A and B are shown apart, each in its own frame.
Chain A
Amino acid sequence: MKLIRLKYTKWFNISKDGIAKNNPIVVAVLGICSALAVTNKVENAIAMGLGVTFVIMGSSLVISLIRNHIPPGVRMVTYMVVISTFVISVQSFLQAFFPIIAKALGAYVGLIITNCIVMGRQEAFAVKNPVKYSIIDGFASGMGYTFVLICVALVREFLAFGTILNYQIASASWQNWVVMAMAPGGFFVLGLFIWGIRELIKYYETTESAS
């Protein structure tokens, strides 16, 4: 009984870490490129989030399976090859079943490879831990990432087009705030979002010293 409870806490803790306490975007500020570039529409954000989650889980699984056989010198290249295999499958999947989203995301699907979150989880977790925990960890990080993406996308799509998931929400007199669909909108919304979440979880960075 005690063993089960212990296990439960570990699973629970890993998931909580990934989604809230160590949220890859808010706390570690990783994987920003795609978080900003694809969040002008909610549907893109969902596709991207799920894609990244799948890639993290898949590559965590593989890396964690072969973790005892990877020579330390070629660690990075091994991660790259494994990750890009999964990214290619995500890309082909999107092109086959969701061609519109694939077109909207464009090169950014391929750029999941260089998403620091994926690489970071392999290096920080999967290479040291057994398979089941690595998958949970990958899932949690991916969900934390998806959560931020969807929140930012909701705000941006509403302000920029007056719609959410392509349904008209705002009244007809709504003036589209076009800059929100472009880069500056992403920066501002994500900046404010990070501020809000950090106030909520009371995570403060110590002021950096000017070196």
Chain B
Amino acid sequence: MKNLFEIIISSLTNQNIALIYILGMCPLIAISTNVKNAKGMGIAVVFVVTLTGIINWPIYMLLKSTGTTQLSLLVFIITIAATVQFLEMFLAKFIPKLYNSFGIFLPLITVNCVVLAVSLFFVNREYSFLETAAFSFGSSLGWLLAIVLLAGIRQKMAKYSNPPKGLAGKGIVFIILGILSLAFIGFTGLSLF
């Protein structure tokens, strides 16, 4: 239990998937112009990543037992695409309110590297099922944290600051991300117990 908690906290802070492992950058940069959209995208990511992490683990075990782990990439990506498609149809049919709030972000998630990365990381780190669930949830929550933080800063910056012409728009985002990432590295060595 302690281990699971540790995994969640560390993937939120010093192993943050967006700011330390630098994953999921395209949507992070594209959708972080205002906090509302950022939150919608982040929550959609939390749903999808947690779900696909949980689904991909048993599938990987199946591949392992049949000795076809080379195919894992192909299988993972198909699982992810199918899950996203399914989630989209399910939400549209049964929970239209939720669908309206973040349904538009769902198709974008298939190409979000976070989803695939979580599946590849649990393979590399040989996590057990519960650890995988905790890791998927924690990482996606960490991504949500990163995108909301970034969007908050960008929203304020768009109003009050005046960056050089060549840096304006997406260029300055890298500098913000660099500073955020420095701050998150500060969590290294954090120990809770």
Chain A residues within CB distance 8 Å of chain B: 29-33, 36-37, 76-77, 80-81, 84-85, 87-88, 91-92, 106-107, 110-111, 113-116, 119, 179, 182-188, 190-191, 194-196, 198-199, 204-211
Known contacts A191-B174, A194-B174; decide if A183 and B110 are in contact (CB<8 Å). Answer: no
CB distance from B134 to the nearest CB of A (A): 18
Chain B residues within CB distance 8 Å of chain A: 19-26, 29, 33-34, 70-71, 73-74, 77-78, 81, 110-113, 115-117, 120-121, 124, 155, 158-159, 164-175, 177-179, 181-182, 185
Is there an interface contact between A36 and B158, defined as CB atoms closer than 8 Å?
A: no
A116 CB contacts on chain B under 8 angstroms: 26, 111
A111 CB contacts on chain B under 8 angstroms: 23, 113, 116-117, 120
Is there an interface contact between B120 and A31, defined as CB atoms closer than 8 Å?
A: no
Dominant secondary structure at the A interface: helix
| Alpha-carbon gap, A191 to B117, bound state (A) | 24
| Alpha-carbon gap, A111 to B29, bound state (A) | 18
B173 CB contacts on chain A under 8 angstroms: 191
CB distance from B70 to the nearest CB of A (A): 6
Known contacts A88-B73, A107-B124, A114-B113; decide if A194 and B171 are in contact (CB<8 Å). Answer: yes
Task: Name the contact of A32 in the complex, choosing from B26, B110, B155 (C-beta under 8 A).
Answer: B26
| Alpha-carbon gap, A81 to B77, bound state (A) | 8
Closest chain A residue to B156, Cβ basis: A210
A204 CB contacts on chain B under 8 angstroms: 165-166, 168
| Alpha-carbon gap, A85 to B112, bound state (A) | 19
Is there an interface contact between A107 and B120, defined as CB atoms closer than 8 Å?
A: yes
